[in-house]
Amino acid sequence: MYDALGRLLRNFSGQRACPDTAPPKPKSSPTAASITFRSITHKKAAQKAAPAMLRHALHRAAPRHALQRAAPAAAAAARRTYLAQPKQRWHLVDAAQGVSVGRLAAAIAPVLRGKHKPGFEPHRHEHGDNVVVVNADRLVFTGRKWKQKLYRHHTGFMGGLKERTAADLQRRKPGEVLRRAVLGMLPKNKLRTIFIRRLWIYPGPEHPHTNVAP
């Protein structure tokens, strides 16, 4: 009766019969060759089923770690591509050649951004060059713009509107009219501050950039 009941339980549920009816089979300790990560569908179940001495081997057998170990540092570095760092040049402009302020600013603004280079990128500022302007006290305005052109700004207080003519601004600070003209031709974003810093304006023929500027 007990033998029949034990066979019925084994056939129905796959469980082992009671110890009184059937002697248990000797347990065989698993080996590293019989337990692999591929033969077990769930990694956590494999770690629970394996002994503590084999868990480290199962962890090392993961495909992700194997790929990381297989890729050498030289091959990973060969796949990286970098753009060459653009070189900044220095240009010397003589404002005493009789060119008007507007035409002079239109020629300087693209050079500050680097638009004259074939590898120009509008979102990068490294392509721009430095421009040194000498003899800024001899700038030229056509017509009667020295007296008619006005530069206005407001202090923020009531009645704080200030205005000056181009001649007055040139007399107070030579070359400021050229700087403002170039500033108006640059993009209105955070890069404009970087671009305008590359413009060096000096009232006379002397400048301290003799080692870099031609």
* pLDDT at position 136: 96
Is the pTM higher than 0.85? The answer reads no
* Interval 56-84 mean pLDDT: 58
Indicate the residue type of 92. L
Least confident segment among 16-20, 163-167, 198-202: 16-20
* pLDDT at position 85: 79
* pLDDT at position 4: 55
Complete DSSP assignment for 25-81: PPP----TTT--TTT-S-HHHHHHHS-HHHHHHHHHT-HHHHHHHHS-HHHHHHH--
The more confidently predicted of residues 28 and 127 is 127
Res. 210 pLDDT band, cuts 50 70 90: confident
Non-local (6+) Cβ contacts of 142 within 8 A are: 100
Res. 32 pLDDT band, cuts 50 70 90: very low
Distance from C-alpha of 100 to C-alpha of 177, rounded to nearest angstrom = 11
Q: Which domains does the chain have, with CATH numbers?
A: 1-26 (no CATH), 31-65 (no CATH), 90-201 (3.90.1180.10)
Res. 24 pLDDT band, cuts 50 70 90: low
Mean pLDDT of the chain: 78
